Amino acid sequence: MKSLLNTVMALAAAIPLAGCLGSHPKAPTFWTVDAEGIAIAGEAVEAKGGVVPARVAEVKVRPPWDVPKLAVRRADGSVAFDPFNAFAARPEALLKGAAEDVLASTGRYDVNAAMVGTNVTFSVVVTRLDLDCREEGVRKAEVALTLVANRRGRLGAPSTSAAKGSAYVDARAGDYSKAFSRAFVAALNDALKDL
């Protein structure tokens, strides 16, 4: 009986160490979204009527795309979240800086002067941010968004305009930072053309 009790106690003491003795799960690879160098590479909208101080008031990413793990659209219509690939921060945080860089690169908006005050604010609503794997052997970074511009005229009268943009970028090389950066910049430039 004493031998059985010693065995049970030894097993109970070993249980907390069991996780340390096994292999560790693979840590995810973290990706980012950055417009540096991409927005200037021929996708910028030409300036019309001078440079205007502006700021990005907010970026919202709709569920289920608003989580750090990469969302993967599958052929059966379902969405999976990749445990091995994730954004380095919440998508809203990554996309806001990229949106500011895209606006600045157009030559139409000065986001640095907006710290003093501006009559133009932008809101970006991302309606899709995923890795599209619905076709066999195809991986595409997909971004769809709505860009809303709020302007205040000289007499203080507000006006609002909105435009949609979307883009697909080949992501088969596995560089998701590059693919999602290009897709976001292209989608935002697509929307800017209609504002």
Convert the pLDDT of each residue in 75-85 to its tens digit: 999 999 999 99
pLDDT above 50 for 112? yes
**Contact by Cβ (8 Å): 129, 143:** yes
Strands 120-133 and 52-61: parallel
Dihedral (CA of 41, 47, 53, 56) sign: negative
How does residue 118 score in pLDDT terms, banded at 50, 70 and 90? confident
> What is the per-residue DSSP string for 51-69?
-EEEEEEEEEE-TTTTSSE
What pLDDT, on the 0 to 100 scale, is given for residue 127? 98
| Ranges 53-62, 136-145, 148-157: which has the least confidence | 148-157
Digit-coded pLDDT (tens) for 27-79: 889 999 998 877 554 444 454 567 888 999 999 999 999 999 999 999 999 99
Report d(CA 5, CA 149) in Å as an integer. 73
Angle at CA 43, nearest 5°, toward 40 and 49?
85
What pLDDT, on the 0 to 100 scale, is given for residue 139? 96
Nearest Cα residue to 184 out of 192, 195, 172: 192
What pLDDT, on the 0 to 100 scale, is given for residue 110? 86
How does residue 8 score in pLDDT terms, banded at 50, 70 and 90? very low
Enter the pTM of the model: 0.81
Angle at CA 190, nearest 5°, toward 82 and 40?
90
